[in-house]
Chain A
Amino acid sequence: MELSLATRTVGEHTVLEVGGEVDVYTAPRLRERLIELIDGGARHVVVDLGRVDFLDSTGLGVLVGALKRLRSASGSFALVCDKEPLLKIFRITALDQVFPLHPTVDAAIAADTTGA
């Protein structure tokens, strides 16, 4: 399934809903969209992976890139993911210790203590 990207705003948070396959071919589009959002002023970004059915190392690299960008801009970045196969990917790569991971968008926003 092709990559799908949709953005919505919840208070101070920008929620990017990602669907389909995030791989070496589609990840550049995800990177572009995240950079566009951050350059456009978004400082508190939540990426909802609820409809992602494939995520590889390239996609993970893009997400870490966004986390670093927002951290250096005093912003916040969180992921929403409750699918066990994806959670296993985060555990195996130790990225579960790098990203704030939440089961729902509401939980991700509620847990953000950066002043958003």
Chain B
Amino acid sequence: MATVKLSFSPAPVHVRTARLVGVAVARRAGVREDLLDEVRLAIGEACTRAVALHRQYGLAELVYVEMSDGGPYTVRVVDRAPIEAGLGLAALGPDELAKESLSEDALTTGVGFALLAGFVEDLQVRPVDEGVGTEVRMAWPTGRG
């Protein structure tokens, strides 16, 4: 079993780094090649969401990402924002998406959640065990099971 941990300042520029590392570890773990685009997108969305929450709440704490392949390839993205903010996610329908009154931020949040839910079969969003924050946990099958 291999574990890779990564923490980064909540800045958009580092999300790409997290994506690159996440896909590299997924490939080594034996995740099917045709799933890697989805892994890349999902890790990016989870990290983008965490960065947005930290910036919204003025939090300087690092965003934490942990990747492990003991069983399915599992990625945990942990933010430190108040839980009520982290769990308030909802997918938007086409009529709502096109509404003039919907802000770009709200649209991006809704679309980001739709992408996570659409691309990750094994997805959990839950409060962290200790302290304040939310964990987005995603898992994909590997060649090893």
Chain A interfacial positions (CB closer than 8 Å to B): 21, 23-25, 54, 56-58, 60-62, 64-65, 67-68, 72, 85, 89, 92-95, 97-98
Contact = CB atoms under 8 A, between A and B. Distances in A.
Contact of B97 (A54, A89, A94): A94
B104 A24 contact: no
Contacts, number: 77
B47 to A, nearest CB: 8
Interface of B: 12-13, 15-16, 37, 40-41, 44-45, 48, 51-52, 92-94, 97-98, 100, 104-105, 107-109, 111-112, 114-115, 118-119
B118 A60 contact: no
**Would you call the interface of chain A mostly helix, strand, loop, or mixed?**
helix
A65 B41 CA distance: 21
Contacts of A65: 104
5 contacts: A24-B15, A57-B111, A60-B111, A61-B105, A61-B108
Q: Is the interface of B mostly helix, strand, loop or mixed?
A: helix
Given A56-B41, A57-B115, A24 B94 contact: no
Contacts of B45: 56-57
Contacts of B111: 57, 60-61, 93, 95
B97 A24 contact: no
A21 B107 CA distance: 20
Contacts of A24: 12, 15, 44, 48, 51-52
Given A64-B107, A85-B37, A94 B48 contact: no
Nearest to A59: B108
Given A57-B45, A60-B108, A60-B111, A23 B94 contact: no
A15 to B, nearest CB: 23
Given A93-B111, A93-B115, A94-B93, A25 B41 contact: no
A98 B107 CA distance: 13
Contacts of B118: 92-93
